[in-house]
């Protein structure tokens, strides 16, 4: 089930705003009413949806700032669905407002899947926002940053999270009643805020990272294979991750500035686009629900037939199982090839996501024939004659310096 049908953009921004409110503690001696950024007005920008060929989102960006954004249709094991990536950054890159599209993951102890090697996605046993942020998000997008503090929700924020969890449970109950199934036994929403320190172009900066996750799960009979033990499972997904950056000593004032709240509120979906996406997503959910119900009904019908059959039936069933295993083995090569292609596509999506968040681009090394990820903040990139060293400049050519050796310039970023 896609949460986006329930938790629209307004709620995602609202939850982010709740955590901004909790971080408004300006540093000593700093005027919290004055923004550390020279806000000279804003301009409206749009993020298109290539699939629908229309604008999906509009938002305000400070005049003179750099902006990049795209609509992500996450696929594969960790793709969440349709959501928004964007980054707005001051001309010196020291101040930035970043939103990253959500991801999802799942864990269970289904013995039948393990015995038959039918897992298409790796089990990920992460159940808290802090674990996700520290062990997954930050190693990918901020590997060299120093964690200054990990801040748990305040009492007021925790009440908001608990209320959101209760609301989600009621939605799952409604879905289960419509489908004739059982809702999850546990539903919760968790969040964490992390402060970081790092440097950009030699200048110290601070960043605030906010992460909110939604999880549901429980322990139930294995409805698809009733002869196997009960299955415990947990499915989680993140809401959009936000990163706010400012020069060191100015982050708290930026968090308290009314301009930042105005920028957060300016992110709005195009109503025409939202209606179309919602209708398409609801139709897909209905198809998925129907297919699941049919699988469950067929599974129980098969189980009841097995219970009532005689020994000859079981003998035939065992023979059918032997034939099935033979066919499964024959199809194994084709299945593995399909999974490898799917994995390669997921890796490309993940690499593009990491480059976007880490201010990097792929450059071609003409000497070694390899592609490497380097900073996208420079206009020219050169590789040494042996192909082991990269040099990035903003216009200067190292070949013009006597005795510097031979340097090959890379092609444009891939």
Minimal CA–CA distance to 32: which of 263, 260, 266, 194?
260
Is residue 43 a contact partner of residue 54, using CB atoms and an 8 Å limit? no
Instruction: For residue 282, give the H/E element and its range.
Output: helix 271-308
* Gap between the Cα atoms of 209 and 98, Å rounded: 9
Question: Is the separation of the CB atoms in 373 and 355 below 8 Å?
Answer: yes
Q: Is 201 left (phi over 0), alpha (psi -120 to 50) or beta?
A: left
CB 97 within 8 A of CB 244: yes
For the stretch 165-183, pLDDT in tens is 999 999 888 877 877 777 8
CB of 49 within 8 A of CB of 71? yes
The Cβ of residue 39 has, within 10 Å, a number of other Cβ atoms equal to 16
What confidence score (pLDDT) does residue 13 get? 41
pLDDT of residue 89: 95
Rounded Cα distance between 60 and 305, Å, is 62
Tens-place pLDDT, residues 229-267: 888 899 999 999 999 999 999 999 999 999 999 999 999
β-strand 371-375 against 390-393: which pairing, if any?
A: unpaired
Distance CA(197)–CA(308), nearest Å, equals 67
Which tens digits make up the pLDDT trace of 390-402?
A: 888 988 898 888 8
Instruction: Determine the 3-state secondary structure of 300 from DSSP.
Output: helix
**If we measure between CA atoms, which residue out of 414, 357, 359, 367 comes closest to residue 390?**
367
Q: φ, ψ for residue 388 (rounded to 5)?
A: -100, -10
Helix (H) / strand (E) containing 173: helix 155-179
Whole-structure pTM value? 0.66
């Amino acid at each position: 089930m896609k949460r986006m049908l329930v938790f629209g953009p307004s709620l995602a921004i609202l939850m982010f705003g709740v955590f901004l409110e909790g971080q408004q503690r300006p540093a000593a001696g700093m005027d919290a009413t004055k923004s550390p950024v020279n806000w000279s007005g804003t301009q409206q920008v749009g993020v298109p949806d290539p699939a629908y060929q229309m604008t999906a989102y509009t938002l305000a960006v400070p005049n003179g700032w750099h902006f990049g954004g795209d609509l992500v249709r996450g696929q594969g094991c960790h793709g969440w669905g349709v959501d928004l990536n964007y980054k707005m950054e001051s001309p010196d890159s020291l101040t930035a407002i970043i939103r990253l599209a959500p991801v999802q993951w799942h864990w269970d102890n289904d013995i039948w899947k393990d015995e038959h090697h039918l897992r298409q996605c790796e089990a990920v046993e992460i159940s808290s926002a802090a674990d996700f942020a520290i062990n997954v998000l930050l190693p990918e997008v901020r590997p060299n940053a120093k964690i200054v503090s990990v801040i748990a929700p305040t009492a007021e924020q925790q009440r908001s999270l608990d209320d959101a969890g209760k609301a989600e449970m009621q939605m799952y109950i409604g879905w289960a009643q419509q489908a004739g199934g059982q809702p999850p036994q546990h539903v919760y929403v968790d969040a964490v805020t992390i402060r970081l320190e790092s440097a950009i172009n030699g200048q110290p900066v601070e960043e605030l990272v906010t992460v909110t996750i939604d999880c549901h799960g429980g322990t139930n009979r294995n409805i698809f294979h009733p002869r196997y033990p009960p299955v415990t499972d947990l499915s989680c997904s993140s809401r959009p991750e936000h990163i706010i950056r400012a020069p060191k000593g100015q982050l708290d004032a930026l968090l308290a500035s009314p301009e930042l709240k105005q920028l957060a509120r300016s992110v709005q979906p195009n109503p025409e686009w939202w209606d179309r996406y919602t209708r398409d997503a609801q139709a897909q959910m209905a198809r998925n629900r129907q297919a699941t119900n049919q699988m469950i009904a067929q599974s129980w019908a098969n189980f009841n037939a097995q219970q009532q059959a005689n020994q000859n039936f079981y003998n035939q069933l065992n023979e059918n199982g032997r034939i099935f295993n033979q066919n499964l083995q024959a199809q194994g090569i084709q299945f593995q090839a399909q999974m490898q292609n799917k994995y390669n596509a997921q890796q490309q999506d993940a690499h593009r996501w990491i480059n976007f968040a880490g201010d990097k681009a792929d450059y071609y090394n003409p000497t070694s024939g390899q592609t490497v990820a380097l900073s996208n903040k420079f206009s020219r990139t050169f590789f040494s004659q042996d192909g082991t060293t990269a040099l990035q400049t903003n216009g200067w050519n190292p070949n013009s310096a006597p005795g510097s050796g031979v340097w090959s310039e890379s092609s444009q970023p891939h």
